[in-house]
Structure 1
Amino acid sequence: MAADSHTPSHLSSGAPSGSAESAWLDTLDPYRLPAGATPNRYDIRLRPALDDSTFIGTVSIQLDVAIETDTFVLNAAELTIGECSVNGTPATAELVEEADRLIVRTAAPIATGSATMNISFAGILNDKLRGFYRSTYNDANGAEQVIATTQMQSTDCRRAFPCWDEPEFKAVFGITLDIADGLNAISNGPEIERVTTEENNDGRRTVIRFADTMTMSTYLVAFIVGQLEMTAPTDVNGSPMRVVHIPGKSHLTDFGMDVGVFCLKWFEEYYGIPYPSDKVDLAGLPDFAAGAMENLGCITFRESLLLVDPATSTQNEQQLVVDVVAHELAHMWFGDLVTMRWWNGIWLNEAFATFMEIAACDAYRPDWERWTSFGLERSAAFDVDALDSTRSVEFEVRSPADCEGMFDVLTYQKGGSLLRMLEQYLGEQTFREGVSHYLGLHSYKNTETNDLWDAIESTSGEPVRRIMDSWIWQPGFPLITVTISDDGTSIELSQQRFLLNPESATDPTEQMWVVPVHVSNGGTTTTVLLDSTHTTVALADPAAPVIVNAGGHGFYRVAYDATLRSRLAGALGDMNTLERYSLVDDAWAATVGGSLSSVELLTFLEEFGDEREHAVWQAIVIALRGISRLIDDDALPAFQLRVRTLVQPALAELGEPQADESDLAAKLRGLLLSTAGVLGRDEFVIDLCRDLLESSTEPDNAVDPELVAAATSVVAATGTVADYERLQHGFLTASTPQEQLRQLYALTEFDDEALILRTCEFALTDNVKTQNAPFVLRMAMANRRHGAAAWGFIKDNWEHANKEFPTNTISRMVDSVKLLTTPELVADVQMFFVEHPIPQAVKTLDQILERQGINAALLARDAASLHAHLIS
């Protein structure tokens, strides 16, 4: 459905009583609250006890009562409810646990107008990294310390206090935290009052009151309590910004602060609207299920995505910090100031923040060419959207489980790619004017997707809604086939849905998109809107190469006829980096889909020996890794030789690191080094990597971080038990979050089944946080030789994983089963998930299993011919 109007339909003149009351409750929407009463203000006071992981609290809710009633329905979960009153008169409160509902009943009907509801409650600081939860770390003395922190999105604010926990119910939040002596606390607003009290039974306590928030949704509420340290605030156009962290990590804050200051200023200029709150805290947490969260004024992060040492981190590790800080700050306007009405619109929140993170990163570090590297993320969306089991970007969301399934590559990467395609069609300034108009028109309100299209359409005069509706409301994307005319003066463009397995299509209906297509030929770029099955484009120079998807930003794949393809082969130097990247990426997709053989792909890749751009090499290496999974041990040496032959000229040309070289040149050296060592099994490179890794541990011996990262992978992939134990020790003693993760994930790369199983066991110990353990297991299962052993381990520990790991990580953990492609493993995986579904990620699991079948078909189709080609 195009919109969810959230029509109030349940509260009239009050609920009936007795059996009629039970019947009335059954008529309530199981996932949406009735709208007869709505909150406009919450005053919350919480008292967490970190030593026993509990909290108590009170909430006073100011209500607008639209319909006289004696029954109020709001959300609460995993709370013990104490006293309750409405307008000072005691009321009853019944917690309906299976529905996350709190039913408050008054002795007499409450008249329309204003009302005040007061509730006392108690809860547990849980270990599931949701709601109000506990995060732990070991201090300098090795003692465990606890932080109480929050993650409310999507529907977990109800676990912290009773509330109307839906995005449309915006309100002001006044938060007070009563904390033990020696602790500190932050929340959405700046601290405005601090009182120290003496208590006979509980020692000294500190009560901190924070300034009111702007009107906002419950999922943006945040508070953190613990032994927190803060940097000195930096003024950003009147808004103080700090980085908040656990003790001992202040030396890792400068980069994140620099990024935050730049991005906040840049967004204020881009949007044309001042930052809508009073301050910004960027808080790095030891335990965090997501990457980061856009809580208004109190943004929370995984430590590895905020705290970083530029001297020891790779370009990609720094870029991740820039991306995520920018993403969350972009949300302060697009999401916090203007919010989707219901969770079906979460895609637009996240897609727009994804688009803006790339734009801000590109402004912060133009030399990183962020829009080019975004092509790799777009490819991840292509991979899912080329499946029959994909979904439309926006779809009906009913339950919290439906909502959780929205946080995927289609929401973020496809959505961001579609916005980039629209921006490139309209022009950057025109697109920006439309966004600013949208934000100004809907500030402090809730919107539907069409409100954005209408705002941009009104300022641009272009058919924005018609274009975007064709992409948002139907699944998949087109393959644009390009054919030259008989007389050579024009090309024909035709579109049809691209599927990796066309025979799997459950809906044979022909789909159509309104596709902005940029065609480059003879120094001229022509833009057309392909809104039918075919169209013709005249060529400026019939003899010159033709590039369709010129610039490389369209969300579609391209297939050229033989004549046009042969022209491109000799014109790679005339294409920009993203265009060449797309050419390689399209070829790999064609191989997976069966229209290009693996032998043809390998031959095609070998034409790129003169390539010197990192992004293109990323696409080449992805394809080479894919090919490597089709090769048995007999043919592997021949393949490794081909890899070495392809990689060595570029690696030799790069030579030793230079002080004045670009970050991307250093990054390319690292990629080529790891490719030569892991895929090419180059003995010289392997020995070099051992020396590099050894040198990197020596005091005052600065080794380029890109080389350290590459050497870590090469040593792991070719290493011994001693190497394993060294990397494991490095993980346990690492001085930065990036070094820690680099060495943890390297434990999944060893070519030894016993070591892979040892890694799986290690992932379930207290040494590995539950936020990271699912990804360790996923990477272990992606091990080329021993993934099946890791799969067996996951099956044996399925109950443990579902009990201990954050729910949103379970589908991510099993993503690598798509790489298990023998008939026996395919049957085993499919049967296992018949009996062990993942209810919070039904669609994602369908996609993983479909891709497994496609990969298995590729193995069956190409393995023999590839083997014969390599050993001939």
Structure 2
Amino acid sequence: MRLAFAPTVAALLLAGCASMSSEAPVAPQSATLSPLPANIPSDLPRIARPSHYAITVTPDAANLRFAASSAVDFELFEPSDKVTLSANGLRITDARLVPATGGDPIAMNVTTDPEAQTATFAAPAALAPGRYRLETNYTGPIGTQANGLFALDYPDKRTGKSVRALFTQFEAPDARRFAPTFDEPSYKATFDLTAIVPQDQMAVSNMPFASETPLGDGRKRVVFRTTPKMSSYLLFFGLGDFERLTKMASDGTEVGIVQPAGSGEQGRFALDELAKLPPYFGDYFGVRFPLPKLDNIAGPGSSQFFGAMENWGAIFTFERILLDDPAITSPGTRQAISEVQAHETAHQWFGDLVTMAWWDDLWLNEGFASWMQTKTTAHFHPDWYPLLTRVGGREAAMGLDSFATTHPVVQKIRSVAETNQAFDAITYQKGEAVISMLEAYAGEDVWREGLRRYMRDHAYSNTQSDDLWNAIEAAGAPGLTSIAHDFTLKPGIPLVRVDSASCTGGGTQVTLSQSEFSRDRMKEAAANPQQWRVPLLLSHGSGAGQRQILQGQGTYTVAGCGPLIVNGGQLGYFRTLYTAPMLAELTKALPKLQPIDQLGLLADNMALSNAGYQSMAPALDLLAAVPRDANPLVATDAIGRLAGIYQMLETATDASGARSRLLAIAKDRFGSRLQALGYEPRANEPVAEANLRIALLGAFAEMGDPAVVAEARRRFAGLRSDPKALDGPLKTTWLGIAARNASRADWEQFVRLAESSGSSVERSTYWTLAGATKDEALARAALKLALTDRPGATNSSPIISAVSRLHPELAYDFVIANRAKVDPLVDASARTRFIAGLAGRSEDPAMIAKLQALRASLPANERRPVDQALTSLQYRIERTPRVQQELLAWLASH
């Protein structure tokens, strides 16, 4: 699954996969079923295990209901008079048990437990161990948020009329909303799905359809082929007025983009990108894609919980990051289309073929998909510099990992609510960062061979983290497990301190000691730090260097003298605190360092300065040392940091003067870069340069640059006479600037454009931007609008989120006051995180009591997002006055 908020990430891989050498798909084992092992958590009794499901569904999209029947083949391992399955929101009207050995069906009495999300089927007498089939008839609701079977309404691209499509979303535990199932990842089984649907609509599932039979009443029966053995959360069903673009990948897999009718060529870019992936991953993992087809299905709207989902053979992706609409798609969105598909396709192996045994090891799915996404993007699109984005991913993880409210990569999960909270930057970005570090330790060839062993040995089954480490060690990486345990079983971030460094006899002798980096418990972390085995690459800035493992303290001699980087190549998951003379040397040398090290040094030192390990001055000196002609991703990072500093100065003494000085510095450093790029996109320009233009425009506008703001307002005014005046790759950029600076007339124009647009992506964009205004009165109007039917079921919560970026207290108070109306507008799995996230930019001390009250109202297993929001808020309140004074002092001297 791809998180809705996850940043773009990517990395470097081996050269080519032109010659396919992948092995045939590993056949699923048909061994005798066995009870779930005691060391694997479960909410179900361990007395039965499924082998096959046959589900027939008849959706009633107009009335948001469905009727269905289900038959699950399972084995009972001990005598019992009842069997318990997962079920949520289903009305089971009858159930019977059919022994595999023959005999009369046994009528079963059904009781449901809504809190436990289970249905228990009781027999009149004890059942003997053996094989049975449980047959049920039931009905259930079709939701309007992305949980279970849900509906999305959108404007038909040909007529503009509102139409409805159905999709499913079952991760983490929502297959139970579709059928009574053993809805846990270790209970793998095969699935037969049949759907009774309107004759003129397309039904889509994990497998191609085996037959399609008209029923003579305007409906048809679609029977899909049997799936491989898989976890229930990977089952998919979609239905609507769709069209499908297809092509054959070089490994024989048919790939397709399923899109709303009338989309035409909007899916072509995604299709071409998708076709590259099954052969590439098959070659890398040594196992060919095991299904006959791989579709990616475009859904209109959005979710607060996710952006795409890796259903086996039937990926689901929200249209905004799958279809390429030249009227609104930016270069960055085209990049995201490629990267998100790489992420979800990597899951077809890491997650679908081999699945974590329980949600504790969710990172085995998400961290590896993020890492492989980076590797794949670098292989096919090196000109996007995807490797450099690893620093941003690492920083996203460290943003959570530096607080006491963090959690290990491998985390203890014991409830549905805890499972939903596990989808965060620790699971995704820290997972990827640790994997990248371990790959560097093992070496690319050994690492790849270990992954091939892992795939081959565990295909169609479930694993825990140590299964992977054992496979890598067996391939030739002794000692890797100990390092992996340190970084996946312990929370937090190592801090490597440089105690001394000197040039002696043509070499640099450096003494390092290990501590722990923390933003909210610096003294405790320094007094009693955790210990890690920390892989280092000591380097003078070239690709070569000396690899070491730091445990506690160590002294090393590195050939050559000059500025020394402790985390060369930035693959280590740790922070480095240099001595002042060393950092001054690195600052002077920064323009000549590799872009990855420029980004890493800047990120490290900004974090260390913000946390109080050093003053802001050395970090700002590094920022000022970024060259005007820096790599576009380095320049993008730098201008974004300057804009962030500008916002931090909002409440400082003499804020206006300080901000004017900062804008002047920003324009001096990067104004000429924007001038060279221009306000208009150029044919065939590099994506990284196009993205930099967007970053510069956005940052200068955020810092109040009158020229950029005036240009945005001028262009936006053109929409009054021509709704297509802004069409093109910069449309969302100019709209965003205009929205931020909107007048009442401008805001009303955004609403009119939203209501009249025939594009679901464009419509969602306009609605969201209606909440992105600086004007508080307009922000209040946007919040009220979000609670009406006008934006649509999935567009309201983005409006509220947009308001919270500039008016966090306003948005938070509004949601708390209107919980009964807001909750249905947010995915059930994301509600707590959504509400806590509204306070993400607040620095108001009064917000502490508000969050504490929210926390007190929640069960213990749902409090993590609120705890994280509280610690982050308290840190900002404590940090801001000191940082502001240090920023003002630095600005006064520059």
Q: TM over 0.5: same fold? A: yes
Asked whether 1:490 is paired with 2:490, we answer no
SS, match of residue 497 in structure 1: strand
8 A Cα contact 1:308 1:738, kept in partner = no
Name which of 188, 211, 224 aligns with 2:238: 224
Which residue of structure 1 lines up, in the alignment, with residue 631 of structure 2? 613
In the alignment, which residue of structure 1 is the partner of 2:378? 362
Deviation at 1:773, TM superposition (A): 3.4
Instruction: State the match for 1:92 in structure 2.
Output: 109
2:758 and 2:514 mapped to 1: Cα distance?
52
How far off its partner does 1:651 sit?
A: 3.3
Matched, 1:109 2:126: yes
How far the C-alpha of 1:742 sits from its partner, in A, is 4.5
Task: Decide which of 650, 658, 663 is 1:631's aligned counterpart.
Answer: 650
- Which one-letter code corresponds to 1:616 in the other structure? V
Tell me, yes or no, if structure 1 residue 391 matches structure 2 residue 407: yes
2:265 match: secondary structure:
helix
Secondary structure (helix, strand or coil) at the match of 1:252 reads: helix
**Do the aligned residues in 2 keep the contact of 1:522 with 1:541 (CA within 8 Å)?**
no
Give, in whole Å, the separation in 1 of the partners of 2:788 and 2:606: 38
User: What's the CA shift for 1:451?
Assistant: 0.4
1:118-517 pair list within 5 angstroms: 118-139=135-156, 140-198=158-216, 203-287=217-301, 289=303, 290-309=306-325, 312-485=328-501, 489-503=508-522, 505=524, 509-517=528-536
Can you give the 5+ residue segments of structure 1 that lack an aligned partner in the other structure? 11-28
Question: What is the one-letter code of the residue matched to 1:572?
Answer: L
Map of 2:578 onto structure 1: 560
* Residue matched to 2:769: 746
- Work out whether 1:685 is the aligned partner of 2:711: no
Deviation, structure 1 residue 129: 2.1
Any runs of at least 4 consecutive aligned residues in structure 1 with deviations exceeding 6 A, and if so which?
Answer: 695-704
Identity among equivalent positions (%) equals 27
Equivalent AA in structure 1 for residue 531 of structure 2: M
* Partner Cα distance (1:763, 1:387) in 2: 33
Alignment-derived partner of residue 18 in structure 1:
none
**When the two structures are superposed, what TM-score results if normalisation uses the length of structure 1?**
0.90
- Higher relative CO (CA 8 A, sep ≥ 6), structure 1 or 2? 2
Is the deviation greater in 516-525 or in 323-332?
A: 516-525
- Change in Cα spacing, 1:505 to 1:232, as seen in structure 2 (3 Å) is same
- Tell me: CA distance 1:848–1:508, structure 2 relative to 1, closer, same or farther (3 Å): farther
**Taking structure 1 as reference, are residues 145 and 505 closer, same or farther at Cα in structure 2, changes over 3 Å only?**
farther
TM-superposed CA distance for 1:864, in Å, is: 4.5
Distance 2:262 2:80 in 1: 54
Structure 2 CA distance, aligned partners of 1:121 and 1:297?
27
Cα separation, 1, equivalents of 2:543 and 2:774: 51
Deviation at 1:370, TM superposition (A): 0.9
Spell out the pairing of 1:528-539 with structure 2 (5 A cutoff): 528-539=547-558
| Distance apart, 1:392 and its partner CA | 0.7
Q: How does 1:31-70 map to 2 (within 5 A)?
A: 32-70=43-81
Which residue of structure 2 lines up, in the alignment, with residue 22 of structure 1? none
Shift of 1:220: 0.7
- What secondary structure is seen at the aligned counterpart in 2 of 1:640? helix
* 1:273 CA displacement: 0.9
Shift of 1:599: 5.5
Aligned partner of 1:645: which letter? I
Q: Offset at 1:168? A: 0.8
Relative distance call for 1:32 and 1:531 in structure 2 (3 A) is: farther
Q: Is the 8 A contact 1:635 1:871 kept in 2?
A: no
Distance 1:728 1:378 in 2: 38
Match of 2:830 in 1: 809
- Residue from 643, 646, 653 that aligns with 2:663: 643
Cα deviation for residue 373 of structure 1 reads: 1.9
Aligned length: 841
* 433 and 698 in structure 1: CA distance in 2 versus 1, 3 angstrom threshold: farther
Write out per-residue CA displacement over residues 557-613 of structure 1, whole angstroms, 9 at most, x where no aligned residue. 111111211111111122111211112212221232123444654454333352522
Secondary structure of the 1:494 match is strand
Q: Does 1:74 align with 2:85?
A: yes
Sort the Cα spacing of 1:363 and 1:726 in 2 relative to 1 into closer, same or farther, 3 A.
farther
For 1:25, the equivalent position in structure 2 comes to none
| 1:345 counterpart letter in structure 2 | D
Whole-Å Cα distance in 2 between the matches of residues 9 and 577 of structure 1?
A: 49
Instruction: Label 1:629 to 1:700 Cα distance change in 2 as closer, same or farther (>3 A).
Output: closer
Given that 1:585 and 1:619 are in contact with CA atoms closer than 8 Å, whether structure 2 keeps it comes out as no
Secondary structure in structure 2 of the residue aligned to 1:642: helix
C-alpha distance in 2 between matches for 1:300 and 1:700? 30
Output the CA distance in 2 between the equivalents of 1:361 and 1:524: 21
Give, in whole Å, the separation in 2 of the partners of 1:150 and 1:455: 34
Tell me, yes or no, if the aligned pair for 1:93 and 1:102 is still in contact at 8 Å. yes
CA distance in 2, matches of 1:134, 1:222: 14
The 3 A distance-change label for structure 1 pair 735 and 797 is same
Q: Write out per-residue CA displacement over residues 710-741 of structure 1, whole angstroms, 9 at most, x where no aligned residue.
A: 33333333332233233333444456565445
Q: Normalised by the size of structure 2, how large is the TM-score? A: 0.88
Compared CA separation, residues 376 and 678, structure 1 to 2 (3 A): same
Counterpart of 2:876? 855
Deviation of 1:317 (Å): 0.9
More displaced stretch, 786-795 vs 414-423: 786-795
| Structure 2 gaps, min length 5 | 1-33, 99-104
CA distance in 2, matches of 1:425, 1:49: 55
Decide whether aligned partners of structure 1 residues 865 and 444 sit closer, same or farther in structure 2, where only a CA change above 3 A counts: closer
For residues 690-728 of structure 1, the C-alpha deviation after alignment (integer angstroms, 9 at most, x for no partner) is 345456898799979564443333333333223323333
Contact 2:95 2:137 in 1 (8 A): yes
Give 1:781's match in structure 2, choosing from 804, 820, 834. 804
> What SS does the aligned partner of 1:231 have?
strand
